[in-house]
């Protein structure tokens, strides 16, 4: 069995006898001598490279993406009989950290202070704003209500950090209940949930059902001071509706790590909005535990057992 490993990440999985690992360059087509591979691992592969692999690797039986969201691999056009497994769980800790950083930057108005620094302005007015009773929710997570839409592994890793800082967390998922000590509700509860939210965090996967789920209707239900944080997939947020909400003052701001088009186009209005914090899809830059996942799935694949994180399509 030949296993292709990408050069975009340092990998050294333990492999059973009979498995040959070959390193390939993600920015170039798979060499002809390796198109007989049965298994392919992908990480940060460009779309055209994966589409080429989908067409040329005729003996391929399994693709392991190290990304938490498999949408790019699914869209590449691999044959229906090719099993796709995701990197779900590999980015929980790093994305949780980045989401916390974005949320704290938003509520502590670090974007305003960075601009003040660049202008050599000693922003003393921020002290008065922080102390004013009617603006307390703008400047602290203490007693803030954080709503997390998409309550999976990343949300489970993020929630203890938020609660340690004094926030109250409510999760939103397809089924209601209590998870990791947090109340989880469904979208049916948005009418009474969103008007109480100080921060709405989106960690949704990209599916037809979640296309532009964060839309004008959602923004209209939030308080005027609330911030929207999106670290799931760019396709889940309607950027034009977000710009309208920001410019009309319907919401307080947005902190975004993912976008519909990446890199974000130069002419996007998001670049110049004063209450927008942008990061270039770097929340999950290191797949932690990738070697362990690959090793386990290679062994399962070789023995005809069920693989971890199989993607339904």
Mean pLDDT of 210-234: 97
pLDDT at site 136: 56
Per-residue pLDDT band for 257 (boundaries 50, 70, 90) equals: very high
Is pLDDT above 90 for 3? yes
Among candidate residues 56, 54, 45, 51, the one with its CA nearest the CA of residue 81: 54
- Over residues 26-82, the pLDDT tens digits come to 999 999 999 999 999 999 999 999 999 999 999 999 999 999 999 999 999 999 999
- Percentage of residues of the chain with pLDDT beyond 70: 99
Mapped onto helix, strand or coil, the DSSP state of residue 227 is strand
Mean pLDDT of 230-256: 98
- Over residues 102-141, the pLDDT tens digits come to 999 999 999 999 999 999 999 999 988 888 877 655 789 9
Instruction: Compute CA distances 261 → 97, 258, 280, whole Å.
Output: 24, 9, 11
> Taking a C-beta distance cutoff of 8 angstroms, is the pair 64, 42 a contact?
yes
- Measure the CA angle with vertex 155, ends 175 and 174; round to 5°: 15
The whole-model pTM stands at: 0.94
Q: How far apart are CA 83 and CA 196, in angstroms?
A: 43
Cβ–Cβ contacts within 10 Å for residue 145, how many? 20
Among candidate residues 230, 290, 286, 224, the one with its CA nearest the CA of residue 260: 230
Pure H helices in the chain: 47-56, 71-75, 92-107, 110-118, 125-131, 153-164, 190-193, 216-221, 239-248, 290-303
Mapped onto helix, strand or coil, the DSSP state of residue 142 is coil
CA 115 to chain centroid: 27
């Amino acid at each position: 069995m030949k296993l292709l490993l990408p050069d975009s990440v340092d990998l050294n999985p333990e492999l059973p006898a009979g498995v040959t690992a070959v390193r390939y360059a993600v920015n170039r087509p798979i060499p002809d001598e390796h198109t007989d591979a049965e298994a392919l691992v992908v990480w940060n592969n460009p779309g055209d490279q994966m589409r080429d692999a989908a067409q040329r690797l005729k003996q391929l039986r399994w693709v392991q993406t190290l990304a938490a969201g498999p949408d790019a691999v699914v869209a590449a056009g691999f044959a229906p009989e090719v099993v796709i497994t995701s990197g779900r769980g590999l980015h929980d800790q790093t994305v949780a950290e980045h989401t916390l950083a974005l949320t704290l930057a938003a509520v502590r108005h670090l974007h305003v202070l960075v601009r003040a620094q660049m202008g050599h302005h000693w922003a003393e007015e921020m002290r008065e704003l922080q102390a004013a009773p009617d603006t307390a929710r703008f400047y602290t997570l203490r007693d803030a209500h954080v709503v997390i839409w998409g309550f999976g592994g990343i949300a489970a890793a993020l929630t203890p950090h938020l609660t340690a800082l004094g926030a109250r967390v409510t999760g939103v998922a397809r089924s209601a209940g209590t998870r990791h000590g947090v109340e989880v509700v469904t979208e049916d509860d948005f009418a009474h949930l969103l008007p109480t939210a100080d921060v709405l965090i989106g960690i949704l996967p990209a599916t037809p059902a979640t296309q532009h789920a964060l839309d004008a209707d959602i923004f209209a239900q939030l308080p005027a001071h609330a911030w929207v944080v999106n670290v799931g997939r760019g396709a889940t947020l309607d950027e034009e509706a977000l710009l309208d909400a920001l410019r009309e003052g319907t919401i307080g701001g947005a902190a975004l790590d993912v976008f519909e088009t990446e890199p974000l186009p130069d002419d996007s209005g998001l670049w110049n909005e004063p209450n927008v914090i942008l990061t270039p899809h770097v929340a999950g830059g290191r797949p932690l535990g990738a070697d362990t996942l690959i090793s386990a799935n290679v062994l399962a694949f070789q023995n005809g057992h069920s693989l971890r994180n199989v993607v339904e399509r």
